[in-house]
Amino acid sequence: MAQRQVAFPQVDCAECPIRHRAVCARCESDELEHLEAIKYYRNYEAGQTIVWAGDKMDFVASVVHGVAALTQTMEDGRRQMVGLLLPSDFLGRPNRDRASYDVTATTDLQLCCFRRAPFQELLSNTPHVAQRLLEMTLDELDAAREWMLLLGRKTAREKIASFLSIIARRDATINPKTRSGELAFDLPLTREAMADYLGLTLETVSRQMSSLKKDGVIVLEGKRHIVIPDFDALLSETGDDSDGGVY
Amino acid sequence: MAQRQVAFPQVDCAECPIRHRAVCARCESDELEHLEAIKYYRNYEAGQTIVWAGDKMDFVASVVHGVAALTQTMEDGRRQMVGLLLPSDFLGRPNRDRASYDVTATTDLQLCCFRRAPFQELLSNTPHVAQRLLEMTLDELDAAREWMLLLGRKTAREKIASFLSIIARRDATINPKTRSGELAFDLPLTREAMADYLGLTLETVSRQMSSLKKDGVIVLEGKRHIVIPDFDALLSETGDDSDGGVY
DNA sequence: GTTTGTCCTTGATCTGGATCAAGCGAGCCC
DNA sequence: GGGCTCGCTTGATCCAGATCAAGGACAAAC
């Protein structure tokens, strides 16, 4: 219908993955107002905490740039990461105004936020948004179940290889291929955060990284930059079914 | 509107948790047709497989009686349970016609099934059903994250205690209290299935059960019947935050 | 340039849970 | 009844990963 003038500049929208990948599939076309009108951005530095478990959270959000982690902590300090949010992933739960987990930025991070109340209203009034969110939540549940297999049954080496292949795959879809064929990326997590992801100690993470490097499965440039000379070789270390499987 | 005669006898609906707890919150009142018209029942014996990962699955379902488990298996036989479905839990994924996991009945089981196509149509046409399903999926995701903490960071004893408290809690809501105050239930899983749930071996499960029994935290009557003399004592073994926490 | 702090690596030792192995008790089939 | 199988328990030993401990590399702060 009557297209709203330039109230919502194109460039702004293009940056926000909510529009094209995350919550609102329909927004790929032309009706942006219902999301545009309630959104705003927030930036965080690497290491910063976004909310603590139990804190009031008056917004939901979509990750634009960077990486955020959800972690749980036991009284005695044992920590387990339970969610890793990359660009286009969704943060927060409709109908719950308190965070269930600690949320921290593991790299510099930009969130595209939506105030809770209008977002929930949008959710009730716009069936295709609710359906898209259901689809995303089901994908996250599948990822969580893959993660449970990793935590419960894989060896330290398999855990590392699995983690690297997950990051490599996600990174490839976020950053359209940099070089010709070669698979390379920066780790968005410290060794300690990787340990929290994998249910290991940071020493074991470091040792297994060294071992994979020694065996030529990965090439380490500095501490964080990873090159994968042969992705299939990495996959064969994960313990996963060789053929594509569910994915 | 004109109420359909006795096509869907009241007693039948009352048995089906879909109606009052699971998918369709609105069905608590009076409009039942849209679910009633497409549902049917299936029964399985303890140990039976319902579908294998990768199999075609032409229905979604709600658990009426009994317990079902979702498990993943690696080529070398390592197994990890990734879902445990008790009465009122939902099985299957809209918009995906192949099972992602092995589904087995761990006790005798009754499912209330819905053929896929009409259920999906229902989902698009009935916003409150989609919203209810989103809510259920988010709860399942929370449970999966609790489970990840268990798998990644808890000791064998804490894992067993956590599992028992989870089952005790769920059982209490399913079977309105049997005796006065006393907390007692039957384990719906073999030691081996418990091991698959907890990322342990069956020997370790057995040893830790014996240890909790020796310490008076639980009373074992036969192999499967558990009595909890003091629920707080059990909780203190789980490693979880003592106050209610997220739940 | 030195200091400080963060992140990471590597070595030595310890230990919780896995693995290997034996046997028990309660159905169930013949 | 006798023999089987299945689910479970318990003992003995082993080992992957945790823990304890000591530096190294690098960047920022002074």
Residues B71-110: pLDDT tens digits?
999 999 999 999 999 988 999 999 999 999 999 999 999 9
Give the amino acid at B153.
R
What's the CA gap between B168 and B165, in Å, rounded? 5
What's the CA gap between A245 and B60, in Å, rounded? 21
- CATH class of the structural domain B155-235: mainly alpha
List of residues 6+ apart from A58 with CB closer than 8 A: A97, A115, A116
State residue A243's pLDDT score: 59
What's the CA gap between B116 and B125, in Å, rounded? 14
Domain with CATH 2.60.120.10 in chain A: 10-146
Strand C proximal to A209 Cβ, under 7 A: yes
CA nearest to B162, candidates A98, B153, B216, A148: B153
Question: Is it the case that residue A31 has pLDDT exceeding 50?
Answer: no
Here the ipTM equals 0.89
pLDDT tens for each residue of A58-108: 999 989 889 999 999 999 999 999 999 998 899 999 999 999 999 999 999
Q: Which of A120-129, A172-181, A193-202, B123-132 has the lowest mean pLDDT?
A: A172-181
The DSSP secondary-structure symbol of B26 reads G
Q: Which of A20-34, B43-57, B90-104, B174-188 has the lowest mean pLDDT?
A: A20-34
E strands along chain A, which residues? 39-44, 49-51, 59-65, 68-73, 79-85, 90-91, 102-105, 109-115, 183-186, 219-221, 225-228
State residue B119's pLDDT score: 87
Chain A: residue nearest B83 by CA? A145
Instruction: Tell me the pLDDT band of B243, cut-offs 50, 70 and 90.
Output: low
What's the CA gap between B222 and B214, in Å, rounded? 15
Alpha carbon of A129: minimum distance to chain B alpha carbons (Å): 10
A114 and A59 Cβ atoms separated by less than 8 Å: yes
Closest partner residue to A152 (CB to CB) among B80, B94, B239 is: B80
Alpha carbon of B178: minimum distance to chain A alpha carbons (Å): 33
Q: Which two tokens stand for residue B48?
A: 């039976």
Tell me what the mean pLDDT of segment A181-206 comes to: 95
CA nearest to B174, candidates B81, B48, B53, B67: B67
- More confident: B174 or B140: B140
What's the CA gap between A82 and A72, in Å, rounded? 7
What's the CA gap between B103 and B71, in Å, rounded? 7
Question: Is it the case that residue B214 has pLDDT exceeding 50?
Answer: yes
Strand C proximal to B151 Cβ, under 7 A: no
Instruction: Please judge whether B145 and A72 are an interchain contact, meaning their C-beta atoms are less than 8 angstroms apart.
Output: yes
Question: Is it the case that residue A22 has pLDDT exceeding 60?
Answer: no
Give the amino acid at B166.
I
End-to-end CA distance of chain B: 40
Domain with CATH 1.10.10.10 in chain A: 155-235
Tell which CATH classification among 3.30.70.2740, 2.60.320.10, 3.40.50.10320, 2.60.120.10 matches the domain A10-146.
Answer: 2.60.120.10
- Which positions in chain A touch B83 (Cβ < 8 Å)? 145
Question: Is it the case that residue B31 has pLDDT exceeding 50?
Answer: no
Report for A109-113, A133-137, B105-109: range of highest mean pLDDT: B105-109
Chain A: residue nearest B136 by CA? A134
A100 and A93 Cβ atoms separated by less than 8 Å: yes
Instruction: Tell me the pLDDT band of B128, cut-offs 50, 70 and 90.
Output: confident
Question: Is it the case that residue B22 has pLDDT exceeding 70?
Answer: no
| Coil, helix or strand at residue A125 | helix
Longest dimension (CA), chain B: 63
State residue A35's pLDDT score: 66
Count of C-beta atoms within a 10 Å radius of residue B197 = 27
Question: Is it the case that residue A192 has pLDDT exceeding 50?
Answer: yes
Strand C proximal to A228 Cβ, under 7 A: no
State residue A122's pLDDT score: 82
Give the amino acid at A1.
M
Neighbour order of strands in the sheet with A225-228? A183-186, A225-228, A219-221
A197 and A148 Cβ atoms separated by less than 8 Å: no
Q: Which of B141, B158, B237 to mutate to test the interface with A (most CBs of A within 10 A)?
A: B141
Cα three-residue angle B5-B6-B11, rounded to 5 degrees:
145
Question: Is it the case that residue A223 has pLDDT exceeding 70?
Answer: yes
CA nearest to A153, candidates A95, A196, A189, A198: A198
